[in-house]
Amino acid sequence: MASRYLISVDLGGTKILSALIDSRNKIVSKVKIPTETEKGGKYLVESVAASVRQILNENNLKERDIKAVCMGVPGTVNPYSGEIGTAPNLGIKNFNIKKELGEKISIPVLIENDVNLAGLGIKKFELNADKKNILVVFIGTGIGGALFFDGKLYRGSSFFAGEIGHMLVEPKGELAASSKRHTFELTASRTAIVRNIRRGLKKGRKSILKEFQSPTTLLKSKTISEAVLKEDPLAIKYVGKAAKAIGTVLGSITTLLNVDTIVLGGGVIEAMHGFMIPKIKTAFKEAVLEEPGKNVNIFATKLGDNAALYGGIALAEEFLK
């Protein structure tokens, strides 16, 4: 009898989110455990294996009931060999996670870049078949992207395609980071927004976020969103600047690649899409050439954290033919 289930794993820098998905593409259960990146790749593999075992135990299943474990990793990933080139948020480099995990469980293991995996989920479950040239961008602690051309995921010559967070941009004034490399990620991610809010607080600017001036106090997207809703001037200023930077970069990419659809996700967008999307669209229109930009649809994904989990279904369809 064919295996009826799939396990999708979103391996992040702070958490490992695993989900059991049935043959009707329904998420049956989830397991979330913290990521301990300081202990190295082999410990991460054991943590993933432990989450898989927990799902099996909680649902009275055996390994033979699972057709594949599909895992998204925040880094450069070769889905054919299973090699992670570099994953800075996980603290690992040149590590074959597919091989290592395969020694812990007897289930086929498939891996993919985390935003590519989310893009696969969005394309399969959220977009019409006529959408062929797609850019998916996730904005959170960092910024990552996924590209689809003629309906197929484009991974690039060395599996680095879509890493738009590392693109160099030209920030102005207070938006600029102290780094010499002014990247998109250092300009418009949650990390950048938080950094700029704290700079403003240190300069004595009034804000309801004054308790977050210390770098040791965690400032999350939800809290920033609440400040924006309360019309806090500091939050509005820097979230607005990030939105403008995002729209400008997306406009330039569209002029180059002529995509028809742009889907935005990640913690920043999920928390503040109502405020940010209109500003992103305005900046996009100002940056893009008229012909490639006139029919582009820009919107926020409704799948949230589940996008990468659902992407496991599409990844299994590609590699388990």
User: Structure tokens of 223?
Assistant: 């809290």
- Residue pair 142/124 in contact (Cβ under 8 Å)? The answer is no
Per-residue pLDDT for 305 more than 60?
yes
Task: Tell me the C-alpha distance between 57 and 70, whole Å.
Answer: 18
Place of tokens 């879509």: 162
Task: Tell me the C-alpha distance between 288 and 113, whole Å.
Answer: 28
Q: Which pTM value belongs to this model?
A: 0.93
Q: Tell the CATH topology of 122-300.
A: Nucleotidyltransferase; domain 5 (3.30.420)
List the single range of 22-26, 84-88, 152-156, 267-271 with lowest mean pLDDT: 84-88
Task: Tell me the C-alpha distance between 318 and 315, whole Å.
Answer: 5
* Domain parsing of the chain, residue ranges: 5-107, 122-300
Helices of type H across 59-169: 97-102, 114-126
Nearest to 215, CA basis, from 235, 234, 203, 197: 197
Q: Is the dihedral of CA 113, 155, 97, 101 positive or negative?
A: positive
Taking only the tens place, the pLDDT of each residue in 107-165 is: 999 999 999 999 999 999 999 999 999 999 999 989 999 999 999 999 999 999 999 99
- Residue pair 184/171 in contact (Cβ under 8 Å)? The answer is no
Per-residue pLDDT for 1 more than 50?
no
Quick check: do 5-107 and 122-300 share a fold? Answer: yes
Taking only the tens place, the pLDDT of each residue in 37-93 is: 888 899 999 999 999 999 999 999 999 999 999 999 999 999 999 999 999 888 899
E-only strand ranges, 121-234: 134-139, 143-149, 152-154
- What's the CATH code, domain 5-107? 3.30.420.40
pLDDT bin (cut points 50, 70, 90) of residue 320 is very high
List the single range of 157-171, 192-206, 249-263, 304-318 with lowest mean pLDDT: 157-171
Residue type, 64: R
pLDDT bin (cut points 50, 70, 90) of residue 180 is low
